[in-house]
Amino acid sequence: MKAFTYKITAVLMAIIVLLSTMSFTLDMHYCGNTLVDVALFKEAKTCGMKQQISDTMICAMMTKKNCCTDKQLIFEGQDKLQNSFDTITLKQQNFAVIFYYSYINLFEEIENHITPFIEYPPPFLIKDIHLLNETFLI
């Protein structure tokens, strides 16, 4: 179960890195206040309200405004993924050294304590109390 959880988190982290570095464009076409079409990576389809201009329609279009609008949302991903060590300040270097030193000292070995009865054998077993009372560890 633990390995399965690690695999799931690794895949999720890979997807997050992929989505954060990818840039894409979301194109939307509105006709009035209603959303007609949304397109990802390409231009949205129009609703057909835009007509070809002819000589007779020029006067009509001058007085009537176009009700269609196109909106474009651009999401830009990250370009720089790895920090270089040239940009680390002195305070950050000091923090890293102090943190490393305190973290490594957490795992020092504990001194071996002398136990005085380690060389003495245990007492002989006269009656097995667990069998007599029928109490077993499962």
State the total domains in the chain: 1
- Residue 67 domain flag: yes
Q: What is the pLDDT of residues 23-36, one digit of tens each?
A: 888 898 888 788 88
- Residue 110 domain flag: no
- Output the DSSP codes for 79-125: S--S--GGG--HHHHHHHHHHHHHHHGGGPPPPPPPPTTTTSPPPP-
- Residue 34 domain flag: yes
pLDDT of residue 5: 92
- Residue 44 domain flag: yes
* Average confidence (pLDDT) over 84-89: 78
- Residue 43 domain flag: yes
- Residue 35 domain flag: yes
Q: What is the pLDDT of residues 67-76, one digit of tens each?
A: 788 888 888 8
> Whole domain around residue 50: which residue ranges?
24-76
Write down the pTM of the prediction. 0.39
